[in-house]
Amino acid sequence: MHRFRLLPLMLLAFLSAEACSPSDEEPYRPGTSVQPEEPGEPGGDGENNPDKDPDEDTMNSNTITLTAGGRSFTATLVENQATEALKARLAQGPVDIRMEDYGDMEKVGSFGFSLPRNDASTTTSPGDMVLYQGNSLVIFYGSNSWSYTRLGRLDDASTRERVLELLGGEGAVTVTLSLGTER
């Protein structure tokens, strides 16, 4: 009699485990390959590889360019799902974001699309870039504590004055994000 009670439980456990197992299809992850290749071989990182995509290095870089008011500067991204998705989107072309001041501590603007969230309690400082609610870029020129997904930091901008200088001062500004660095 007990055997018949265990059979549905075992079947349920088996089906539950199967539902939680990873899919056979691997998700697309920019900049990754199925297996590492040796430098110099076709598809590898060798200097004389005519098949190598010149944009691949840019895609694998954690540096993006921001342009505001005709001035270009860089930011270094952290490694997470949100920044990988952002780089994949920027590989399609630059993104313009209309940003407004908020709370005398940050500029915030909508991407116009959503990115994966991994929010965590965060204390920010001037120069920090975060994702808010999955669809807004926030660049801090002050400090705040809230739940955000960290995206990265503006390079060489750790004071309120420097961040505001790069972003054209207080008030609304359009910031263009792109892959690579301006020289």
What's this model's pTM, rounded to 2 decimal places? 0.68
Q: Are 106 and 139 in contact (CB under 8 A)?
A: yes
Task: Give per-residue pLDDT as tens, 46-77.
Answer: 344 444 444 444 456 899 999 999 999 999 99
pLDDT at 99: 99
pLDDT at 181: 56
Least confident of 1-5, 36-40, 162-166: 36-40
Q: Are 86 and 106 in contact (CB under 8 A)?
A: no
pLDDT at 180: 73
Mean local confidence (pLDDT), 117-125: 97
> Residue type for 135, please?
N
Residue 11 lies in a domain: no
Residue 58 lies in a domain: no
Spatial distance between the Cα atoms of 148 and 34, rounded to a whole number of angstroms: 32
Task: Give per-residue pLDDT as tens, 13-29.
Answer: 444 444 443 333 333 33
Write the CATH number for 146: 2.40.100.20
Q: Are 175 and 61 in contact (CB under 8 A)?
A: no
Task: Give per-residue pLDDT as tens, 124-180.
Answer: 999 999 999 999 999 999 999 999 999 999 999 999 999 999 999 999 999 999 997
pLDDT at 35: 32
Residue 55 lies in a domain: no
Q: Please state the domain count of the chain.
A: 1
- Domain encompassing residue 100: 63-178
